[in-house]
Structure 1
Amino acid sequence: MAIEALADPVVRRLMTIPGVDAVVGVSVVAAVGDFGRFASAEKLVAYLGLHPKIRQSGNQPASHGHITKSGRAQTRGMLVEAAWVASRAPGPLRAFFNRIKARRGPRVAVVATARKLAVLCWHLTASGEDYAFARPSLVAFKQRKLALTAGAPRAHARRGPGYDYNDKQLRRHEREVIEVAERAYETLIAGWQPRRPNHTATAAFRGRSSGS
């Protein structure tokens, strides 16, 4: 599996996301196949069963319940595990998790973060870009660990790829840079409120539809 992961540019790209290692990346790619067959990130989220059920009765506004849990349960579980890891790593994903956790609790927050990871997977593959808030030394370390698992020779006489992750000062610097992005995201979302249905507009639309 390590050899296959190293040869797959999509898996390597997904590994730039916090919490996503080779096992998670391979699981997602194996379940999804060609990301291009999904017209939007929302369709991928629905395929993985991470979108909420919508309940509506009569003229009452729609309400969102638990996720549908359709599709590949193993991949969905992998993304949830990755979300727990991402929730402890510095960066916008941790800020997102903490925001949902404060309102809805940790279980809802981790599922929402897993859904966010699925959205990220779609956008990164569609754009052909790595995660913008990746920590370079950590990514190199994950890829080097994967290469060693695949049978790559160890570097004894010289420092191999991923060695920079052993530099505590460099790790601290990268962490500080990502924490700045995390605080910026917290400031951005501080005033966001859950979207509420516009009952007046809905009633007016129904009135026009019935010819009144």
Structure 2
Amino acid sequence: MREQYAILHRQLHRIVRRDEVCRRLMTIPGVGPLAAVTFRTTIDDPARFRRSRDVGAHLGMTPRKYASGETDRNGPISKVGDAGMRAVLYQAGLALLTRSQRWSKLRAWGMAVAKRRGMRRAIVAVGRKLAILMHRIWKDGNTYEWGQSATAT
């Protein structure tokens, strides 16, 4: 098993090194080779989304809405998209909030959400933001800049 894991790991790194889009996606904190390749294969064409915000809804990472008369409630995330991509984004958000040592505006925002709403919701919210940011970077051809803001410049 370890030998097969090592072979697959080397193949994944070889694929990521050759792909310019994956290299740009990996400039985002918390996004590694697996997240970059998974996002690239799941979305496959960034032009099919008019706005980057639509990617979060496509992957099922936006809250479910219930509205009837005067009642208007937000529920848990809708989970309508690709479950594998959602899991990878959750792991990327977890890595950003718990493992990343370097400060970023995205991490600061996620920690503020965690303080208000709890760590699990913050991880999902950061995962959704990562999906939006990854789409924007892919579509515009930019890289993540650490010092300025959580958006591509």
Q: Structures share a fold, TM > 0.5?
A: yes
Residue 110 of structure 1, CA deviation: 0.5
Aligned to 2:82: 72
TM-score scaled by length of structure 1: 0.60
Bigger radius of gyration among the two: 1
How far apart, CA to CA, are the structure 2 residues paired with 1:122 and 1:63?
A: 28
Unaligned regions of 5+ residues in structure 1, if any? 134-177, 186-212
Residue of structure 2 in register with 1:99 after alignment: 112
Aligned counterparts, 1:186-205, within 5 A? none
- TM-score with structure 2 setting the length: 0.82
Match of 2:7 in 1: none
Q: Among all aligned residue pairs of Structure 1 and Structure 2, give the percentage whose two residues are the same amino acid.
A: 34
Partner residue, 1:18: 29
Q: Which amino acid aligns with 1:94?
A: R
- Deviations along 1:70-94, one digit per CA (max 9) or x if unpaired, are 1111111111111111113221121
Runs of 4+ in 1 over 3 A off after TM superposition: none
| Partner residue of 1:37 out of 37, 45, 48 | 48
Structure 1 vs Structure 2 CA RMSD: 1.6
Cα offset, 1:122, TM superposition: 1.3
For this pair of structures, how many residues does the alignment match? 136
Question: Does residue 99 of structure 2 align to residue 86 of structure 1?
Answer: no
- Aligned residue runs from structure 1 range 1-212, under 5 A: 1-60=12-71, 62-88=72-98, 89=100, 90-133=103-146, 178=147
